[in-house]
C-alpha cells in the first residue's frame, strides 16, 4: 500500500505487491477535515512506517466503506476506477494501492450502457471463447437510439482483436461489392492508401468471390480457428439488393466451413427480412426502448431528483408517441427544464404544484414540438427567443410565426401545396378544380348527391379545417401537382426524392407502413396559415382551390 501527500509532515508507506490498482485522488476539504486527523493520530506528525500491514488494514477498514458510499453518489470512470472530487481548498493527494478483483467486461459495459444488461449478457454468452463454435447468424433489432450499434462496437473492440471482426454500414456501402471489399479490408487490417495504390485486399464482384476470399482470410490471418464476426449495420438496406444476398450471408459459416458469425443490425423486425424461398433463421436479440427512468441520469446536480423525475414524466408522456429517439428526448428535456423551473425561481409557483408549472410551461412545449423537432431554428436561438417572449408579447408572436421564414425548393413548395389540397378537399371535386378541360356533367343520382361536409348538432356544416387533414394516395397528390404547376418540369428534378424530403421534415406524415411500396398514403401536417405563406412565395392563390373557401 502506498500513501503519498503534498504536505511535509504527512507520513508515507512503501507499496505492497498489488493484484489490482485502485487510484483514488482526493482534492480539498474531505481529506483535510476527515482523514488527515485520522492519519496523524495513527502515525504521529513526525513518524514514518514501512510495511506495517496491521496499520494498513486498519486504514483500509476506515477508507473502503467511505469509498463505497462515495462511489454510489458520484460518477465513476469504469476504465480507470478513478474518483475525482474538486473542492475550493486543494490540500492533499492520496494514492491507494489495494488488492481488489478486476471488473469484468460485462460489468464495464453495463456501467457504460445502463438499461442494457440483459442484451450485453446475451451477446457475451453467444460469443463464448474465441475458439468455441458460435451460432451462424444473429439478428439484433430495436428502435433508433436504443444502443444496438454502440453496444456491439464497444463489446467487440474490448473483447477481440480488430482483425477478428468487421463492422460495415450498409448505407455507406450501398452495393454488394462495397460491402464485400470493406469487410475483407477490416478482417485483414488493410487500409487503402498511397503506399498500396489505394487498393483494398481483393476485388469481389460476386458472392462466390466473397465466399472464397473470406475462407482464405480465415486461414492466413492470425488466430486460425478463432471466430470471425461480420456485423452489418442498417441491414434493412440489404433487401434492396440481390434477393440471394441475405440467404447467402446467413449461411457463410456453412459455405466457407469456417467459424464465422454474421450479425445483422436493423430497426425493423425479422419478419420483414424473411424470404419466401426460405432461409436460415438467425437468433433474435431485441433491444427494447429505453424507459423514462433513463433520463434521470441527466438530472442537474443542483436539482432535486424527485422534482426532475416529475418533469421527465411530463415530457415523456407528451412526446413518446411521436418521438422514441432517446437523443431527441434528452435534447428536449435539457431545453425545456429551465422553462419549467423558471416560475419556481420567480416565486410564482411551488415545486409541489406540478399542474400549475405545466400550465405555465405549456406554450414552450408547443413551440418545442413545432420548431425544435423540425430543426427550423437552432436550440440556442429557440432558447433566446423563448426567454425574450416571456417579457414581450410582440416578440412572442414573432416566435410563433417563425414558420413563415421556413424555405423550401421551388417544386417542393408546389408538392406541399398539392398535399394540402389533397388533405382538405374531397376527391370527388378534383375534376372541378384541377381538370384542364372542364368537368364532365354526369347524371345526378336519386339521392341528391354526396353531402357537403359533416353536420354538427346545430345543423350547420363543419369545415374540413376543423376536422383535420385526411389521408390521400400519393398518386392523387401527384395528379394535383402536375395540374397546378404551369411550366414544364425539368427532367433533372426527382419528384419522389422531394416527397421523401417532406416526409423526413415531418411536413408530410406517412400513413402506410414503410415496407409497402404500392398505394402509399400520406397526410399533410401543416396549418392553413403556413400553406398560405408558402403559396404566396410562388404566387399561387391556394384559397381558390380549397373546398371550404369557395
Which of these, 295, 325, 327, lies nearest to 312 by C-alpha position?
A: 295
Please state which architecture CATH assigns to domain 106-286: 3-Layer(aba) Sandwich (3.40)
Q: According to the model, what pLDDT value does residue 339 have?
A: 87
Q: According to the model, what pLDDT value does residue 214 have?
A: 93
Between CA 159 and CA 349 the distance in angstroms is 52
The separation between CA 213 and the C-alpha centre of its own chain, rounded to angstroms, equals 35
Percent of the chain at pLDDT exceeding 70: 67
Q: According to the model, what pLDDT value does residue 441 have?
A: 43
Strand stretches in 330-466, DSSP E: none
Write down the residue that cell numbers 451460432 correspond to.
135
Which of these, 37, 65, 49, lies nearest to 2 by C-alpha position?
A: 49
How much is the average pLDDT of 229-236? 95
Per the rule left: phi > 0, alpha: psi between -120 and 50, beta: everything else, 519 is left
Q: Are strands 83-85 and 24-26 parallel, antiparallel or unpaired?
A: parallel
How much is the average pLDDT of 467-486? 86
More confident residue, 406 or 433: 433
How much is the average pLDDT of 241-270? 93
**What backbone torsions phi and psi does residue 159 show, to the nearest 5 degrees?**
-95, -25
C-alpha separations of 175 from 178, 210, 388, 474 in Å:
5, 13, 50, 28
Q: Please name the residues in contact with 147: beta carbons below 8 A apart, sequence gap of 6 or more.
A: 113, 115, 116, 119, 287, 290
pLDDT band at 466 (very low <50, low <70, confident <90, very high): low
CB 248 within 8 A of CB 183: no
Q: Which CATH number fits domain 410-438+464-549: 1.10.10, 1.10.1060, 1.10.20, 1.10.3470?
A: 1.10.10
How much is the average pLDDT of 143-169? 92
For residue 261, count CB atoms less than 10 angstroms from its CB and return exposed for 0-12, middle for 13-18, buried for 19 or more: buried
- Domain ranges for the chain, please list them: 1-102, 106-286, 292-405, 410-438+464-549
Q: What is the pLDDT of residues 339-364, one digit of tens each?
A: 899 899 999 889 888 888 988 888 78
CB 116 within 8 A of CB 59: no
Asked if pLDDT for residue 372 goes beyond 80, the answer is no
CB 509 within 8 A of CB 373: no
Q: What is the pLDDT of residues 329-338, one digit of tens each?
A: 888 888 888 8
Between CA 381 and CA 546 the distance in angstroms is 35
The three grid cell numbers given for residue 119, joined into one nine-digit string = 442484451
Asked if pLDDT for residue 14 goes beyond 70, the answer is no
Write down the residue that cell numbers 354538427 correspond to.
456
CB 144 within 8 A of CB 267: yes
Q: Please name the residues in contact with 48: beta carbons below 8 A apart, sequence gap of 6 or more.
A: 11, 12
Asked if pLDDT for residue 400 goes beyond 50, the answer is no
Q: Please name the residues in contact with 541: beta carbons below 8 A apart, sequence gap of 6 or more.
A: 535
The three grid cell numbers given for residue 272, joined into one nine-digit string = 420483414
CB-facing half-sphere around the CA of 79: CA atoms within 13 A? 3
C-alpha separations of 338 from 102, 173, 354, 357, 364 in Å:
41, 42, 14, 12, 11
Lowest-pLDDT range, 58-72, 232-246, 306-320, 468-482? 58-72
State the angle between helix axes of 105-112 and 117-127 in degrees (0 to 180), rounded to the nearest 10: 150
Write down the residue that cell numbers 433533372 correspond to.
492
Q: Average pLDDT over the chain, rounded to whole? A: 75
Amino acid at each position: 500500500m502506498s500513501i503519498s501527500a503534498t504536505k511535509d509532515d504527512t507520513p508515507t508507506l512503501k507499496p505492497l505487491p498489488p493484484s489490482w490498482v485502485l487510484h483514488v485522488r482526493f482534492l480539498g476539504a474531505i481529506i483535510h477535515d476527515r482523514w488527515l486527523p485520522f492519519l496523524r493520530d495513527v502515525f504521529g506528525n513526525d513518524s514514518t512506517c514501512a510495511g506495517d500491514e496491521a496499520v494498513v488494514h486498519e486504514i483500509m477498514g476506515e477508507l473502503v466503506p467511505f469509498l463505497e458510499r462515495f462511489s454510489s453518489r458520484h460518477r465513476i470512470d469504469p476504465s480507470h476506477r478513478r474518483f475525482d472530487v474538486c473542492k475550493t481548498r486543494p490540500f492533499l493527494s492520496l494514492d491507494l494501492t489495494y488488492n481488489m478483483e478486476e471488473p469484468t467486461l460485462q460489468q464495464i459495459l453495463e456501467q457504460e450502457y445502463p438499461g442494457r444488461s440483459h442484451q450485453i449478457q446475451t451477446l457475451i454468452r453467444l460469443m463464448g471463447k474465441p475458439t468455441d463454435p458460435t451460432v451462424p447468424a444473429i439478428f439484433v433489432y430495436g428502435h433508433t437510439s436504443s444502443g444496438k450499434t454502440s453496444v456491439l462496437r464497444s463489446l467487440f473492440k474490448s473483447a477481440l482483436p480488430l482483425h477478428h471482426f468487421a463492422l460495415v454500414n450498409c448505407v455507406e456501402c450501398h452495393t454488394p461489392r462495397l460491402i464485400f471489399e470493406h469487410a475483407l479490408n477490416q478482417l485483414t487490417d488493410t487500409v487503402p492508401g498511397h503506399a498500396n495504390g489505394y487498393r483494398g485486399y481483393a476485388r469481389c464482384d460476386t458472392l462466390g468471390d466473397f465466399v472464397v476470399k473470406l475462407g482464405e482470410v480465415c486461414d492466413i490471418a492470425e488466430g486460425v480457428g478463432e471466430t470471425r464476426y461480420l456485423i452489418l449495420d442498417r441491414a434493412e438496406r440489404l433487401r434492396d439488393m440481390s434477393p440471394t444476398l441475405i440467404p447467402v450471408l446467413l449461411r457463410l459459416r456453412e459455405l466457407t466451413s469456417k467459424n464465422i458469425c454474421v450479425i445483422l443490425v436493423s430497426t425493423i423486425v425479422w419478419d420483414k427480412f424473411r424470404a419466401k424461398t426460405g432461409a436460415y433463421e438467425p437468433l433474435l436479440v431485441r433491444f427494447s426502448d429505453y424507459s423514462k427512468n433513463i433520463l434521470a441520469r441527466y438530472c442537474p446536480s443542483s436539482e432535486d431528483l424527485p422534482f426532475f423525475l416529475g418533469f421527465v414524466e411530463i415530457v415523456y408522456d407528451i412526446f413518446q408517441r411521436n418521438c422514441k429517439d432517446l437523443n431527441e428526448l434528452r435534447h428536449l428535456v435539457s431545453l425545456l427544464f429551465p422553462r419549467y423551473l423558471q416560475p419556481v425561481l420567480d416565486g410564482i409557483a411551488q415545486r409541489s404544484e406540478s399542474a400549475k408549472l405545466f400550465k405555465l410551461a405549456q406554450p414552450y412545449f408547443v413551440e418545442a414540438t413545432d420548431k425544435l423537432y423540425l430543426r427550423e431554428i437552432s436550440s440556442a436561438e429557440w432558447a433566446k427567443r423563448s426567454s425574450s417572449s416571456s417579457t414581450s408579447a410582440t416578440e412572442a408572436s414573432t416566435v410563433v410565426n417563425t414558420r413563415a421564414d421556413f424555405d423550401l425548393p421551388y417544386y417542393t413548395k408546389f408538392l406541399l401545396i398539392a398535399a394540402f389540397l389533397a388533405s382538405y378537399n374531397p376527391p370527388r371535386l378534383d375534376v372541378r378544380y384541377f381538370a384542364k378541360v372542364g368537368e364532365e356533367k354526369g347524371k345526378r343520382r336519386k339521392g341528391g348527391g354526396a353531402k357537403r361536409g359533416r353536420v354538427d348538432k346545430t345543423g350547420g356544416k363543419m369545415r374540413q379545417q376543423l376536422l383535420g387533414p385526411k389521408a390521400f394516395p400519393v398518386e392523387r397528390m401527384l395528379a394535383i401537382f402536375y395540374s397546378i404547376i404551369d411550366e414544364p418540369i425539368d427532367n433533372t428534378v426527382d419528384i419522389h426524392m422531394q416527397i421523401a424530403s417532406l416526409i423526413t421534415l415531418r411536413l408530410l406524415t406517412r400513413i402506410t407502413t414503410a415496407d409497402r411500396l404500392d398505394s402509399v398514403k400520406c397526410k399533410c401536417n401543416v396549418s392553413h396559415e403556413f400553406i398560405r405563406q408558402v403559396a404566396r412565395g410562388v404566387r399561387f392563390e391556394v384559397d381558390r382551390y380549397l373546398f371550404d373557401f369557395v
